[in-house]
């Protein structure tokens, strides 16, 4: 039944019932009440670690209903369905969930190797998409997601929020006043940005490294490992490859950079006004050669834009750290440190008098109902997604890379471009 047909049905039913009984206020709406015809139907695909949080998002929203959950692990699925209640449908295959329809918003908090395929399938089925970070596992997949979202006229939200609201982890400020300071030109140009634990950002590099030489283990009962792998190459199962530790393997994610990168770098991209472009040179330091399967550690990554703007990532977990005591942002005329301490000091006070940036939609419900783009959507989200993958490409190849932000390809480097577009295990394809 379409949303409009549901509205007509409820309206007629309420009118007929009015002659015999009192219609409950929750049916008609009113202050603090949303009529059923206006409640958005949500599905969460992948209800493990991050997915459990998405279940909570839906259950905490009075204008939302958790209509369906899906997971290849029956233990995860049973727990999520119990939270959703008796009316929440449970699926082990996302394709069945999509085929049954009735969903307004599909959440995609699966491991990243599934983000593109599921987001595209949901968009093709007429659903709006709320996707976890990183947006996709590769740069090339991002193009396909954009095409599907825009071809189908869908809304897309990427689940990081620091350009929208909330403080930047350990920095001690929201993104908006920093953007105001940069836009004013008071720091001068070009700018250098440093992202490390010394400026408030922990990359979790050692936390998300993979394991090598591990013996295979029996696949646990109730876990569809083949479907969990999906488009990823087949590898013998051992527990550390899946669930909470999958980030340590290139087939599914990209370590601490992919875990935290879009949180940190999307906010910085917004601050630096780089939503429509990407760095043109990327260079890293890491212990080479990098393992083909397990994500390892790295030291520094430097990314340079065509206008001279630089972003320096410092893991502080390998090699010599070069960001201790240095500012988060530095230009020829000024510096910004954590806690919004500036040099010269008067720059901090000046920010309050500066105009605010253009407002963004920060509530996905508003985006879905008005059909206006969410503040962090498939387009600008893809650009910050690329920052993550550009950095990892430099780490994996062990050389300075040149990148074309328009074509979204590396220049004269076929090995690096094989990381842009990676084959999928059949029958899965973009």
The CATH number assigned to the domain holding 280 equals: 3.30.360
The CATH number assigned to the domain holding 120 equals: 3.40.50.720
3-state secondary structure of 260: helix
Place of tokens 């994610």: 253
Residues 110, 214, single domain; the answer is no
Residues 308, 280, single domain; the answer is yes
What's the domain count of the chain? 2
Q: 70 near 372, Cβ under 8 Å?
A: no
Residues 363, 323, single domain; the answer is yes
Residues 325, 388, single domain; the answer is yes
Query: Is there a domain that residue 26 lies in?
Result: no
Q: Which two tokens stand for residue 285?
A: 């330091």
Residues 118, 196, single domain; the answer is no
Nearest in space to 317 (alpha carbons), one of 285, 291, 281: 285
Residues 201, 133, single domain; the answer is no
Residues 99, 238, single domain; the answer is no
How high is the pLDDT of residue 38? Answer: 87
- 56-to-51, 83, 110, 377 alpha-carbon distances in Å: 9, 9, 15, 22
- 199-to-38, 169, 215, 325, 336 alpha-carbon distances in Å: 44, 10, 40, 9, 10
Q: Which two tokens stand for residue 237?
A: 């199962």
How high is the pLDDT of residue 171? Answer: 93
120, β-bridge pairs? none
Residues 86, 230, single domain; the answer is no
Last residue of a domain, one of 127, 154, 181: 154
How high is the pLDDT of residue 6? Answer: 44
CA 186 to chain centre: 31
Query: Is there a domain that residue 399 lies in?
Result: yes
Q: Domain residues for 73?
A: 39-154
Last residue of a domain, one of 154, 182, 207: 154
**Could you give the CA distance from residue 244 to residue 249 in angstroms, rounded to a whole number?**
12
**Within 169-233, where are the H helices?**
175-184, 225-229
214-244: pLDDT as tens digits? 999 999 999 999 999 999 999 999 999 999 9
Last residue of a domain, one of 154, 186, 203: 154
9-46: pLDDT as tens digits? 444 444 433 333 443 333 444 555 667 778 999 999 99
The helix (H) or strand (E) run that includes residue 97 is helix 94-100
Residues 206, 129, single domain; the answer is no
Residues 232, 136, single domain; the answer is no
How high is the pLDDT of residue 21? Answer: 40
Query: Is there a domain that residue 14 lies in?
Result: no
Q: 128 near 64, Cβ under 8 Å?
A: no
Residues 229, 330, single domain; the answer is yes
How high is the pLDDT of residue 1? Answer: 45
Query: Is there a domain that residue 215 lies in?
Result: yes
Residues of the chain with pLDDT under 70: 1-34
Query: Is there a domain that residue 3 lies in?
Result: no
How high is the pLDDT of residue 36? Answer: 72
Query: Is there a domain that residue 18 lies in?
Result: no
Residues 224, 272, single domain; the answer is yes
């Amino acid at each position: 039944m379409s949303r409009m047909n549901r509205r007509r049905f409820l309206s007629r039913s309420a009118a007929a019932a009015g002659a015999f009984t009192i219609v409950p206020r929750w049916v008609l709406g009113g202050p603090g009440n949303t009529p059923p015809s206006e409640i958005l139907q949500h599905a969460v695909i992948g209800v493990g670690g991050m997915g459990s949080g998405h279940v909570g998002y839906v259950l905490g929203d009075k204008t939302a209903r958790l209509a369906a959950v899906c997971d290849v692990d029956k233990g995860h699925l049973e727990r999520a369905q119990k939270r959703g209640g008796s009316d929440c449908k449970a699926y082990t295959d996302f394709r069945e969930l999509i085929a049954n329809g009735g969903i307004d918003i599909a959440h995609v908090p699966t491991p990243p190797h599934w983000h593109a395929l599921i987001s595209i399938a949901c968009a093709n089925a007429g659903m709006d998409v709320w996707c976890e970070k990183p947006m996709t596992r590769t740069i090339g997949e991002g193009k396909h997601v954009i095409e599907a979202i825009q071809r189908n006229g869908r809304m897309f939200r990427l689940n990081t929020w620091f350009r929208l609201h909330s403080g930047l982890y350990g920095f001690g400020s929201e993104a908006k006043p920093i953007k105001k300071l940069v836009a004013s030109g008071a720091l001068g140009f070009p700018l250098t940005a440093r992202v490390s634990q010394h400026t408030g950002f922990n990359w979790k590099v050692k936390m998300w490294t993979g394991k090598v030489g591990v013996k295979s283990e029996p696949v646990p009962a109730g876990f569809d490992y083949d479907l969990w792998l999906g488009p990823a190459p087949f590898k013998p199962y051992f527990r550390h490859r899946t669930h909470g530790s999958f980030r340590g393997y290139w087939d599914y994610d990209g370590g601490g950079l992919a875990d935290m990168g879009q949180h940190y770098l999307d906010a910085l991209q917004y601050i630096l006004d780089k939503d429509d472009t990407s760095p043109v040179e990327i260079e890293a330091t890491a212990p080479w050669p990098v393992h083909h399967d397990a994500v390892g550690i790295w030291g520094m990554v430097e990314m340079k834009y065509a206008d001279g703007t630089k972003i320096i990532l410092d893991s502080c977990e390998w090699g010599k750290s070069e960001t201790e005591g240095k500012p988060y942002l530095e230009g020829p005329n000024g510096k910004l440190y954590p806690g919004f301490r500036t040099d010269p000091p008067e720059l901090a006070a000046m920010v309050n008098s500066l105009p605010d940036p253009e407002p963004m939609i920060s509530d996905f419900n508003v985006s879905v109902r008005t059909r206006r783009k969410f503040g962090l959507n498939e387009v600008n989200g893809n650009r910050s997604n690329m920052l993550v993958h550009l950095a990892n490409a430099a780490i994996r190849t062990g050389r300075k890379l040149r990148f074309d932000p328009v074509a979204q390809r590396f220049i004269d480097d076929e090995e690096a471009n094989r990381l842009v577009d990676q084959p999928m295990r059949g029958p899965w394809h973009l």
